[in-house]
């Protein structure tokens, strides 16, 4: 998420006279000259909110600020929206949760902001129902990735003749909602078909009791199925280092809901297997046939797809190339910012 926001800020800076970035915490990074970054030094949540409110108001009154944009944080969206009412500026809240559970922070953030900017047309009616807001307030602009970072890998590799382990990689936080057990059970189903196998997991459990317990349960399942020798948990990896992991994989698998990581994997041109529900969120109907060849909804279907990747199934490889072309064209950070600014300008002119 942090890598995505940094990429978007750099792209926005190319199209803006000046940008002010206010962060409640974070590191001081290298920014373009027209980007002014302020980071709150306080560690106390209440003081952070007061600081943000004061900085937004004073910056708006002393600088030429046209619009507020908030990424993901409900608390920041609430503060910006309140400031927007006072300064008569519109607030655009980038929000992409696919889960129906909601709390007071989410409700306030979505209801107070001027527009909710999201990543799928299927989230428009979903948000309209669960948050009870009009669909006209919800804007779908898709997602964005820095395609130049995720360069296409050479297609000369013929996997069935590579003298090394067949590498299955996956990335994501290790928690129940990511449904990692599907990957474990799928590999248990097909492991005998592979001469040599390696499963690399990038990610770690959030520091919550249920996620840590889930991780322990997952590792026990792997041990009980006699698969410990070829499972590797590498922990969290920065977005910049992540690109190198994409290039060592023979196939990427994403269980549970995923979005940006699917785009990054496909941008590299690697066979990418993901859940049908994720495919529905990301791709338009005209790619339904290609999406069908790469998606699953249970571990047995995933096991069948893994076997097809290992055998270099022609239909699966063609579907991968077709979706890779679409991802690199439509989901680049540049195209994402074009869509975002287009919606902002349209809203400001109303």
Rounded to the nearest integer, the mean pLDDT of the chain is 90
> DSSP for 42-84?
---HHHHHHHHHHHHHHHHHHTT--EEEEES-HHHHHHHHHHH
Distance CA 256, CA 112 (A): 30
Whether the per-residue pLDDT at 276 is higher than 70: the answer is yes
Model confidence over 41-66: pLDDT tens digits? 999 999 999 999 999 999 999 998 99
Query: Residue 159 above 80 pLDDT?
Result: no
* CA 300 from centre of chain: 26
Q: What is the pLDDT of residue 26?
A: 77
Q: How many Å apart are CA 132 and CA 205, to the nearest integer?
A: 33
Q: b or e along 81-105 (b: 16 or more beta carbons within 10 Å of the residue's beta carbon)? A: bbbbeeeebbbbbbbbbbeeeeeee
Least confident of 50-59, 287-296, 340-349: 340-349
- On whether the pTM is more than 0.75, the answer is yes
């Amino acid at each position: 998420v942090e890598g995505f926001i940094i990429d978007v800020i750099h792209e926005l800076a190319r199209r803006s006279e000046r940008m002010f970035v206010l962060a409640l915490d974070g590191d001081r990074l290298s920014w373009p000259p027209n980007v002014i970054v302020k980071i709150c030094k306080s560690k106390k949540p209440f003081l952070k909110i007061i600081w943000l409110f004061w900085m937004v108001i004073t910056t708006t009154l002393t600088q030429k600020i046209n619009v507020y944009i908030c990424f993901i944080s409900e608390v920041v969206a609430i503060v910006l929206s309140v400031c927007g009412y006072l300064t008569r500026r519109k607030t655009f809240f980038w929000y992409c949760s696919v889960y129906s559970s909601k709390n007071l922070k989410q409700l306030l953030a979505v209801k107070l902001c001027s527009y909710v900017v999201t990543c799928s047309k299927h989230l428009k009616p979903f948000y309209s129902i669960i948050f009870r807001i009009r669909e006209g307030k919800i804007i779908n602009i898709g997602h964005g990735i820095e395609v130049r970072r995720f360069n296409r890998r050479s297609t000369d590799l013929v996997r069935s003749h590579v003298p090394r382990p067949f590498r299955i990689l996956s990335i994501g936080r290790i928690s129940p909602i990511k449904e990692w057990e599907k990957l474990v059970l799928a590999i248990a189903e097909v492991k005998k078909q592979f001469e040599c196998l390696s499963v690399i997991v990038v990610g770690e459990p959030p520091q919550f009791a249920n996620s840590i317990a889930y991780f322990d349960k997952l590792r026990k399942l792997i041990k009980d199925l006699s698969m410990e020798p070829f499972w590797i948990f590498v922990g969290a990896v920065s977005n910049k280092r992540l690109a190198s992991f994409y290039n060592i994989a023979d196939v990427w698998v994403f269980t549970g809901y995923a979005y940006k990581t699917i785009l990054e994997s496909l941008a590299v041109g690697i066979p990418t297997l993901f859940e049908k529900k994720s495919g529905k969120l990301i791709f338009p109907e005209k790619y339904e046939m290609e999406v069908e060849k790469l998606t699953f909804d249970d571990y047995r279907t995933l096991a069948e797809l893994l076997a097809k990747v290992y055998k270099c199934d022609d239909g699966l490889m063609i579907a991968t190339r077709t979706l890779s072309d679409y991802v690199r064209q439509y989901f680049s950070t540049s195209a994402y910012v074009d869509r975002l600014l287009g919606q902002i300008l349209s809203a400001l002119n109303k």
